[in-house]
Structure 1
Amino acid sequence: MNAVILIVNIALAVVLAVGLTPLFVWWERRIAGFIQDRTGPNRASIAGIRLGGLIQAIADMLKLVFKEDFTPAHIRYKFLYTIAPGIVFFCSFLTFAVIPFADNLVLDGISYTMQAVPVSLGIMWFLAFAGLSVYGIILGGYSSENKYGLLGGIRASAQVISYEAAMALSIISMLLTYGSIHLNDMVHAQGDTFFGIIPTWGIFMQPLAALIFIVTSFAETNRTPFDIAEGESEIVAGYHTEYSAMRFGLFQVGEYAAMSASCAIIVTLFFGGYQVPWLDTATLKDNIDYVILAIVLILPIKLFFLTKWMNKNYYWLDKDDSRQKEKGILLKAFWTIAILVMLVLIMFLVTGLGENGTNIAVTAIQIGTFLIKFFMMAFVYMWVRWTLLRIRYDQLQMLGWKVLIPLSILNIVITAIVVVAMGS
């Protein structure tokens, strides 16, 4: 059983960090189209099936896989040039290893940790690998022996010394607040409420630390407005100018893996992680029948609004018959899956779950809660990218050294005073 649960956790980490890349590419293009008042990708298809534009992202991925991997002849440090994308990818991927997807699962009296790598390093693991990923960017720019690539690497170096200190200092405030480096302990602490109303999430307990960490996380992932290392309007493509095919693809996948890891750690530290608001693990177990009944009632309502959005989205100027046919197939598939899920949940309500079944149901609900928060945070990342302009790297240094670091130090002092005062 331990091996099965470990495989499930590893599969979750792999899917969220890497497997969602085509979906995120598609989602980001659709969000960009919505913000810019256009439709986004909706033409590429397989036998007339477009999947709402997802086929375009899959086609782009396949193009990178089968494209010629070209190495320029002028490159002398070919080993560094080759391993740089791998460093970015693996460091971004490994940051997901310690994210708890749910509370400990108890089966037959044995407790299982719901994270890919059950180590006790906690937030320190995230800081270590998140900080190492920048070496791939620097090495990629340096080994390219291209002035634009070198400038991108220099910008990445300037960027990392601007935000890394503020990020670490903001986490120190969270360590003082929770009294632990273990992410599962931090999520447990966010299961309570203030005055029985406000959840004790990190965003409410440490709003300044949350703001600093979220801003520095955008810089960590090299996304707008902090994508200065690859400013295409200034230095072509920066550190990956000389890369093609899957080596370029690894940089792109690494960027989305870093974004996924940042979303997961932000949700874990500041938005309650897998905790359902006002329902901690014990409360969920005691009221599992009511929770399942609520899911049965809410699921068709959510699906109704999704299909309503799909109906609106599929009306296009050409009134393409194949598009209307695809809409019908997707609607039937969604409603079929929803009805099957509802029938299974109703069967559980009628027959009962038992102790192990209740624990598994609570774990599944908490994983679903984590995923909802995770995707909402990913939407914020994409929203910001298509809303704000890129800042100059000297402005990032000014922001880091003159604003974020002083604020994070002030927040540590205030947090320490409050912790000592409450402890006494």
Structure 2
Amino acid sequence: MDFVSVIIIIVNILLAVKLAVGTTPILVWWERRVAGFIQGRTGPNRCNIAGIRLGGLIQSIADMLKLVFKEDFTPGHIKYKFFFTIAPAIVFFCSLLTFAVIPFADTLFIDGQAHMMQAIPMHLGIMWFLAYAGLATYGIILGGYSSNSKYGLLSSIRTTAQVISYEASMALAIISVILSYGSIHLNDMVTAQGELLFGFLPSWGIIIQPLAALIFIVCAFAEANRTPFDIAEGESEIVAGYHTEYSAMRFGLFQVGEFAAMGASAAFITTLFLGGYHIPWMDTATLKANIDNVLMVLILLIPVLTLLFIGWMQKNNTWDNPNDPRAKETAILTKVFLGLGGVVTVSLAYVFLSGLSENGVNIATAVIQISTFMLKFFFVCFVFIWVRWTLLRFRYDQLQMLGWKVLLPLALLNIFITALVVVFAGS
């Protein structure tokens, strides 16, 4: 294995770890700020370091540090201490490994050698996701059962019933997608979504398979235990469910695992139904052919977006007391964002004026596609948070009825229709 291959593998692994774990403080911050916005309140904006609040993001960092240094206490009534200890790790690592097969960009060619842009270069694709999404649930079940608590036990029972109800529909929805694309390899699916339908419509999965997309997204909410499918936690009914008896970093692993599961679901929704790393109406070949135009647009767009963001920040951060330490934050961040925007713009301008070699074009294309994927990824994460603070939790009977009487028949019907279309289109 040459040096370039090692560097690309390291970059892909860092991307997967960053999206799975590194975004947790950001997503926790989003949860609170979006909740505050929807509920007509401010949200976290007091916690600061020398007046720097970052819009409330420092609160998430403070919470993380609190969990790290808090005493890790195991209650005396715990009978199965081994299972109690490994349960959070199962949830965390299974959610983390789900990102291993996500393609962040199209195959990257350096000096004629192909490099897959995913953490583990394998072709299992969607099968890997189904395997580890199911295994992560065992951590929740073990955590609740081993707690020797009625709340934890009820949570384990609820989780088991929910997973059985919704994994079947999710798998059937994926079968429809596999029939449409003729492959289980995720990069093949994304490549197919780069084409145009009827010559003008992007062949995204949500357009080709709208019913499968709806079923998969609903089941993804259930798999990630997100509202309105959060009966496993049910704070108003069973305290906190499976993690009631946990503290410190074991509790923290559950929380990170929950956000990693949400992130994994968002990544797969992006990959299967939102075109993955593709810019609309621009597949990899088109992007490479027009890379100079794309760079020119970015050179003009980045300064405008930077100035708009700084203007919004200054408008929403005014203080009556000029000596308030938080009043310095806007001035400092203005300089930081102006500097970052300037560095990025100058770097792009230098690349544009200097010209790109074949390897340079391929690398620039990969960077743009990774950025496109991340924008879509964060948009889907925002939708997850938006839904949580908009809808109420389903009752148990409503949850089961939706899974067995609505989603399962629709998934079977969708497979039947898809198979007919594939057979007649192929003939």
Q: TM-score range by the shorter chain?
A: over 0.9
* Residue 377 (structure 2) aligns with: 374
Structure-1-length-normalised TM-score: 0.98
Indicate yes or no: 2:100 matched with 1:97.
yes
2:358 is aligned, of 352, 355, 358, to: 355
Larger displacement relative to structure 2 (194-203 or 261-270): 194-203
* Residue 290 (structure 2) aligns with: 287
* Residue 176 (structure 1) aligns with: 179
Indicate yes or no: 2:294 matched with 1:324.
no
CA deviation string 1:209-245 (max 9, x = no partner): 0000000000010111101000000000001110000
Distance 1:375 1:209 in 2: 21
SS of the residue corresponding to residue 184 of structure 2 reads coil
> Do the aligned partners of 1:64 and 1:246 also contact (CA within 8 Å) in 2?
yes
* Residue 162 (structure 1) aligns with: 165
> Do the aligned partners of 1:158 and 1:393 also contact (CA within 8 Å) in 2?
no
Distance 2:46 2:321 in 1: 12
Larger displacement relative to structure 2 (24-33 or 361-370): 24-33
Q: What is the CA-CA distance between 1:311 and the residue it aligns to?
A: 2.2
* Residue 229 (structure 2) aligns with: 226
Q: What is the CA-CA distance between 1:300 and the residue it aligns to?
A: 1.9
Q: Which amino acid aligns with 2:167?
A: E
Task: Report matched runs for 1:249-260 at 5 Å.
Answer: 249-260=252-263
Distance 2:392 2:23 in 1: 26
Q: Which amino acid aligns with 2:195?
A: D
SS of the residue corresponding to residue 407 of structure 1 reads helix
Task: Report matched runs for 1:144-223 at 5 Å.
Answer: 144-223=147-226
Q: Which amino acid aligns with 2:89?
A: G
Q: 1:175 to 1:328 in 2, by over 3 A?
A: same
CA deviation string 1:371-413 (max 9, x = no partner): 0000000000000011000112221111000000000000000
> Do the aligned partners of 2:176 and 2:414 also contact (CA within 8 Å) in 1?
yes
> Do the aligned partners of 2:80 and 2:146 also contact (CA within 8 Å) in 1?
yes
Q: Which amino acid aligns with 1:221?
A: A
* Residue 74 (structure 1) aligns with: 77
SS of the residue corresponding to residue 109 of structure 2 reads strand
Distance 1:56 1:279 in 2: 40
Unaligned 5+ residue runs, structure 2? none
Indicate yes or no: 2:126 matched with 1:123.
yes
* Residue 303 (structure 1) aligns with: 306
CA deviation string 1:123-153 (max 9, x = no partner): 0000000011110111111000000010011
> Do the aligned partners of 2:89 and 2:139 also contact (CA within 8 Å) in 1?
yes
Distance 1:253 1:408 in 2: 31
1:389 is aligned, of 388, 392, 395, to: 392
* Residue 16 (structure 1) aligns with: 19
Q: Which amino acid aligns with 2:285?
A: A
Distance 1:277 1:317 in 2: 46
Q: Which amino acid aligns with 1:216?
A: C
SS of the residue corresponding to residue 106 of structure 1 reads strand
Q: What is the CA-CA distance between 1:198 and the residue it aligns to?
A: 1.3
* Residue 144 (structure 2) aligns with: 141
* Residue 269 (structure 1) aligns with: 272
Distance 1:119 1:323 in 2: 49
1:235 is aligned, of 227, 234, 238, to: 238
Q: What is the CA-CA distance between 1:196 and the residue it aligns to?
A: 2.7
Q: What is the CA-CA distance between 1:52 and the residue it aligns to?
A: 1.4
CA deviation string 1:270-323 (max 9, x = no partner): 000001111111111111100000111111222233223312332367677322
Q: Which amino acid aligns with 2:381?
A: A
Distance 2:387 2:319 in 1: 27
Distance 2:283 2:277 in 1: 9
SS of the residue corresponding to residue 326 of structure 2 reads helix
> Do the aligned partners of 2:50 and 2:325 also contact (CA within 8 Å) in 1?
no
1:30 is aligned, of 30, 33, 45, to: 33
Q: Which amino acid aligns with 1:361?
A: A
Distance 2:240 2:402 in 1: 24
Distance 1:220 1:257 in 2: 12
* Residue 315 (structure 1) aligns with: 318
> Do the aligned partners of 2:173 and 2:411 also contact (CA within 8 Å) in 1?
yes
Distance 2:23 2:278 in 1: 23
Distance 2:235 2:318 in 1: 34
* Residue 345 (structure 1) aligns with: 348
Unaligned 5+ residue runs, structure 1? none
CA deviation string 1:21-52 (max 9, x = no partner): 11111121111111112111110111121111
> Do the aligned partners of 1:5 and 1:112 also contact (CA within 8 Å) in 2?
yes
* Residue 67 (structure 2) aligns with: 64
SS of the residue corresponding to residue 114 of structure 2 reads strand
> Do the aligned partners of 2:205 and 2:275 also contact (CA within 8 Å) in 1?
yes
